[in-house]
Structure 1
Amino acid sequence: MSDFGGLREVDAADVYVDDEQVATLIRDRSDVVMLTYDGAESGGRSNAIAWSLPRFMREARSVGGAIPAFFAGLLPEGVRLGAVVTATKTSVDDHFTLLLAVGGDAIGNVRVVPAGTGPQSLPVMIDEDRIEDLTAVFRRLAGDFGADPVALPGVQPKASAAMWSVPAATTAGAAILKLTPPSGFPRLVENEHFFMTMASACGVRSARTRIVHDVDGRSGLLVERFDRRGGTRVAQEDACQVLDVYPASKYRIKAETAIAAIADVCEAGGGSRMAATLELLRIVAFSWLIGNGDLHGKNLSCYAPDGLWMPTPAYDLVTTQPYLRWRDPMAMDLYGRANRLRRQDFVDAATRLGLRAKAVERMLDELIAAALPWSSRCVEIGFDERDTERLQTMMIERATSLSTDS
């Protein structure tokens, strides 16, 4: 990573949607940040930065060094956040400077760059057929990550924050490179690859993943970016961004709130509200079945790959139970329940969200039938024998809780 220390002195940024500059961000001496749209007003999401920032607003103002919630949702987390803070020589709450450092290749089709510089393309850093040292590749992409948050006293982040994750341009296209941290979360790469592959087999639209190894046998996970189609960027927003709340709220959002908000956006963007609701419920049910306690407000998203808004493929699907003593509840309550979820809970949730009970019952039956054979394949992850057996037992018990016989 280059020396970005000078970004602390930059107080103006250009905001691009696709390849068009549409707005500016200005920071004044009082740490007030002002977003101002360029050009004429328009309705809906067309040429707007986000659903929460329609063009008819013209301006949006944030104080105390904050930036609008949508932009805060573009900032990295975990190890990469620490690397960006170090590289920019600033503090973790200096959102404007951090956004300047990472905004040129953010999730979705919005880019933020220092005023007058124009967006740059990422150079190809990974040749999948010839990787010598994955750790060195990650360091070049993310910068200094010597302060491993997992190793800090009193800190036990969730799996998604612990994973070393950074955007990468590969010879096969745009991807996210993920590495297992050195302590606290063994086999995290293999864990995610297994359950992402399982999800796809169970009818959950999921991001494509593949495991790569360097010459020393270290494993890394490459997650194909569904917000990229060749050289085209695809608009994307997570539930926090849609709800116009900051990432700090991601664990306080209720599952039904996230589902309803994303489904509303899909409907407003020309898609189907009912189809979106059912698809999101499928992701929640799958997460419960595998013991994924880290499905939070930034892990449910929507995008517009062909101009119509719909839920994104699922991502960040892992079992968190082996890392948290098999007592990790769902991160987001589903109508007040975060543990011991059963079939009727999902049926009730579906009807409250406007779906027919038969639709979700059929979805659960299909999910269970496809998932049960995967319980015997948990050994592929590489956990020790005891954790593998506990995982198999848990998955069977949870599949039973979602079945008609429970």
Structure 2
Amino acid sequence: MTAGDVYQGQQLIGRLERHARGIRFSAIEGATLPHGWVATTLPHETADFAELPNFFLNLLPEGARLQLLLDSARSRDDALELLLRVGWDTIGDIAVLPSGEKPGTRRARVAVKDLGQVSFWELFRAGASDNADSAIPGAQEKVSAATVAFGVRAKGVPSAILKLNPPQFPRLVQNEEFFLRMAKGCRLEVNRAKVVHDRDGEPGLLVQRFDRKDRGVTKLHMEDGCQLLNSPPAHKYQPSMRAIADRVADNCSSALVEVERLMRLTAFSYIIGNGDLHAKNVSVLWDEVVRLSPGYDLLSTLPYKQLDQHMALFLQGKNDNLRGGDFIDFGRIYGLTETATRRMIEELCDLAEPWLGRVAEIGFDPRVTESLQSEMARRLAKLRR
């Protein structure tokens, strides 16, 4: 029988086991949960499910790392078995371990003192390709399963993710680093990241995890849009932005503030042509207050013509040609005034406009750079209307 222990931080809070009719979650009596539940859609009580609950299903890695995991699994259809292999290092504060294993007994296999003295691709092959043994997300589906990312421990950054450039999408690392800087310049809160180089000059994006504090010791609870909506990861392109905003408003300490932050993130993603702002790329973080997490996976998909150029999710029934009025109407649903939303859009556009002249910093060839600048300018003009 396949079974595992569920921990929140260092505390055993439940067990998952497969039985003849599906999956049983058994709550541990007397466990003290910081929020009163395991997850927003999973009360702390014993219950039977036909299959692995969506909250846990969304802890599995995506894309390239999921494929590596499937390729080495005894059964490609047993999600619980897959989770028991990678559940020791998931996003957030929940860990799922084989029965009897204690949290903290495993650490990221890739530990580096000096990133400039190693080969990033050798690290990936040694620490991720041969054994996909952690649940750090490794790809965005719309940017294909080619995106390569894996957990590392580096000097001064005990909990980080290292992203590499896949051959299919040139300069993806530089692309994301530039638009993270731009987002910060546009007053969005984003995750900390910097470009680093290995001994061969290969660039990588070293991303500091924001679901870890105290040098990686303290884990923060975090749920992405699919988990908040109780949806499987395969449905991450299906919900509307309204559905996600409803769950953000329901769970965050200040609904109005966090919905406005979500609107700013969406408007910024529209400006830069981030066609991969799907439900798993929007998350709520339980820190001192409950709030929208810092923005992550922010990049432009426009330079890659093989990709759909529309927004991943619909806002006010639209996934393209968004205008300021669409955001005004959206904000009204949650009590944001037209004046407040218009001020937010105007400020965002004013802050974003100077960055159009800096797009060449990404390093695309001049034709791609000019095309990206032109499309961003068109989108800015649309939003100002």
TM-score past 0.5 threshold: yes
Within the alignment, does 1:134 sit opposite 2:120 as a pair? yes
TM-score by length of 2: 0.92
Q: 2:237 aligns with which of 238, 251, 274?
A: 251
Partner of 1:289: 271
Following superposition, the deviation at residue 272 of structure 1 comes to 0.2
Q: Could you tell me which amino acid in structure 1 is paired with residue 328 of structure 2? A: V
Say if 2:12 and 2:31, in contact at 8 Å, map to a contact too.
no
Partner of 2:327: 346
Partner of 2:208: 224
Within the alignment, does 1:180 sit opposite 2:180 as a pair? no
Say if 1:211 and 1:222, in contact at 8 Å, map to a contact too.
yes
What secondary structure sits across from 1:22 in the alignment? strand
Following superposition, the deviation at residue 366 of structure 1 comes to 1.4
What secondary structure sits across from 2:26 in the alignment? strand
**Percent identical residues:** 39
* CA distance in 2 between partners of 1:21 and 1:283 (Å): 36
Say if 1:206 and 1:314, in contact at 8 Å, map to a contact too.
yes
Within the alignment, does 1:49 sit opposite 2:49 as a pair? no
Within the alignment, does 1:73 sit opposite 2:53 as a pair? no
Partner of 1:264: 250
Say if 2:16 and 2:23, in contact at 8 Å, map to a contact too.
yes
What secondary structure sits across from 1:130 in the alignment? helix
TM-score by length of 1: 0.87
Within the alignment, does 1:310 sit opposite 2:291 as a pair? yes
Q: 1:39 aligns with which of 4, 19, 29?
A: 29
Say if 1:122 and 1:169, in contact at 8 Å, map to a contact too.
no
What secondary structure sits across from 1:104 in the alignment? coil
Runs of 5+ consecutive residues of structure 1 not aligned to the other structure: 1-9, 147-155
What secondary structure sits across from 1:34 in the alignment? strand
Partner of 1:104: 88
Within the alignment, does 1:402 sit opposite 2:360 as a pair? no
Say if 2:117 and 2:198, in contact at 8 Å, map to a contact too.
yes
Say if 1:160 and 1:294, in contact at 8 Å, map to a contact too.
no
* CA distance in 2 between partners of 1:74 and 1:320 (Å): 25
Partner of 2:136: none
* CA distance in 1 between partners of 2:100 and 2:199 (Å): 42
Q: Could you tell me which amino acid in structure 2 is paired with residue 19 of structure 1? A: Q
* CA distance in 2 between partners of 1:128 and 1:323 (Å): 33
Partner of 2:197: 213
Q: Which moved more, 1:134-143 or 1:189-198?
A: 134-143
Q: 2:49 aligns with which of 62, 65, 69?
A: 62
Change (3 A) 1:382 1:89: farther
Following superposition, the deviation at residue 86 of structure 1 comes to 2.5
Q: Could you tell me which amino acid in structure 1 is paired with residue 228 of structure 2? A: V
Change (3 A) 1:49 1:131: farther
Q: Could you tell me which amino acid in structure 1 is paired with residue 343 of structure 2? A: R
Deviation per CA, 1:190-222: give whole Å up to 9, x if none: 111111111111011100111111111111111
Partner of 1:150: none
Q: Which moved more, 1:107-116 or 1:256-265?
A: 256-265
Following superposition, the deviation at residue 297 of structure 1 comes to 0.5
Deviation per CA, 1:55-110: give whole Å up to 9, x if none: 2xx123232xx31100111100111111122333431x321111011110100000
Following superposition, the deviation at residue 187 of structure 1 comes to 0.8
Partner of 2:137: none
* CA distance in 2 between partners of 1:213 and 1:361 (Å): 41
Deviation per CA, 1:285-304: give whole Å up to 9, x if none: 00000001110010110011
Change (3 A) 1:203 1:39: same
Q: Could you tell me which amino acid in structure 2 is paired with residue 400 of structure 1? A: A
* CA distance in 2 between partners of 1:294 and 1:135 (Å): 25
Say if 1:125 and 1:137, in contact at 8 Å, map to a contact too.
no
Say if 2:115 and 2:154, in contact at 8 Å, map to a contact too.
no
What secondary structure sits across from 1:322 in the alignment? coil
Partner of 1:87: 72
* CA distance in 1 between partners of 2:13 and 2:237 (Å): 32
Partner of 1:321: 302
Following superposition, the deviation at residue 40 of structure 1 comes to 4.0
Following superposition, the deviation at residue 121 of structure 1 comes to 4.1
